[in-house]
Copies of this chain bind each other. A is one copy, B any other.
Amino acid sequence: MSLVFRRGISSMASLKKASKVVCIGRNYADHITELNSARPKQPFFFLKPPSTILLPGAGPVICPKGIDLHYEVELALIIGKQVKDLEAEDTEGAFDAIESYAMSIDMTARNAQNESKKKGLPWSIAKGFDTFLPVSNIIPKSAIPDPHNVELYLTVNNEHRQADSTDLMLFQIPRMLSDISKVMTLEKGDIVITGTPKGVGPVVPGDIMRAGIKVDGKEIEEGKIEVE
């Protein structure tokens, strides 16, 4: 047990060395509806700085003053090699590029994001505060035979908030990696978070978020997040 734990920690630390964290927006129809957003004709994405990454056990999410803090549970892909100009049809290439998975919570300063949207300003501040990306331990690739058929969930103080299958994604992983890699080359160690299902909402200091992933109804231990 102790060995596994140490291995986990050491791989996790490497996550913070990601050269970028790319985040897919609006990738689940019911989440688009709940935020009154427009449905994208193609995947769009934004960046979170690696300084947002909060490793397991590294303390609480810090809520900045005056911020309406929202959770968004998301499946994260950890990229295993350089990817450039991948074709959307290249499903094998896309899956080859994935080294492993993790669960993540894309914490969002919702009021700041709404203001940015209104003013046509970047989202980087709303998405980019320190601790705004709690992650789980690394999930071995073999534990997720089909990333488009797993259940993501998130609870706040043990109340169910998000629970949906990744089969609801509007754009699947090969299309995401294709669109991203035609703009910015993905490097080994980069992280791609794949969008959140419906049920996002606010948390306040003291709330306990738990998130995770189920494959065939079975929880994956490495995918559990518990964070204040």
Asked whether, in the complex, the Cβ of A49 is within 8 Å of the Cβ of B122, the reply is no
With A and B bound together, what is the CA distance between A54 and B222 in angstroms? 38
With A and B bound together, what is the CA distance between A44 and B84 in angstroms? 30
A49 to chain B: which residues have CB within 8 Å?
Answer: 19-20, 22, 47, 184
Question: Of residues A46, A116, A117, A122, which shows the largest number of chain B Cβ atoms within 10 Å of its Cβ?
Answer: A122
Question: Of residues A46, A118, A185, which shows the largest number of chain B Cβ atoms within 10 Å of its Cβ?
Answer: A46
Partner of A52, one of B50, B52, B130, B184: B184
Asked whether, in the complex, the Cβ of B47 is within 8 Å of the Cβ of A128, the reply is yes
Asked whether, in the complex, the Cβ of A46 is within 8 Å of the Cβ of B122, the reply is yes
Answer yes or no: A183 CB below 8 A from chain B CBs: yes
Partner of A123, one of B51, B118, B122: B122
A44 to chain B: which residues have CB within 8 Å?
Answer: 121-122, 125
Partner of A120, one of B47, B118, B130, B185: B118
Q: Give A99 Cβ to nearest chain B Cβ, in Å.
A: 18
Q: What is the total number of copies of this protein in its complex?
A: 2
Q: Give A173 Cβ to nearest chain B Cβ, in Å.
A: 18
Answer yes or no: A124 CB below 8 A from chain B CBs: yes
Q: How many residues of A contact B (CB 8 A)?
A: 33
Asked whether, in the complex, the Cβ of B122 is within 8 Å of the Cβ of A183, the reply is no
What are 26 inter-chain pairs, A to B, with CB distance below 8 A? Answer: A17-B19, A19-B49, A19-B50, A20-B49, A20-B50, A20-B51, A44-B125, A46-B122, A46-B124, A47-B47, A47-B122, A47-B124, A51-B184, A51-B185, A64-B183, A116-B120, A117-B120, A117-B121, A122-B123, A122-B124, A123-B123, A123-B124, A128-B183, A129-B183, A129-B184, A130-B185
Answer yes or no: A45 CB below 8 A from chain B CBs: yes
A118 to chain B: which residues have CB within 8 Å?
Answer: 120
Q: A17-B19, A25-B122, A47-B47 are in contact. List 5 more A-B contacts (CB 8 A).
A: A19-B50, A19-B51, A125-B183, A128-B183, A129-B184
A187 to chain B: which residues have CB within 8 Å?
Answer: 51
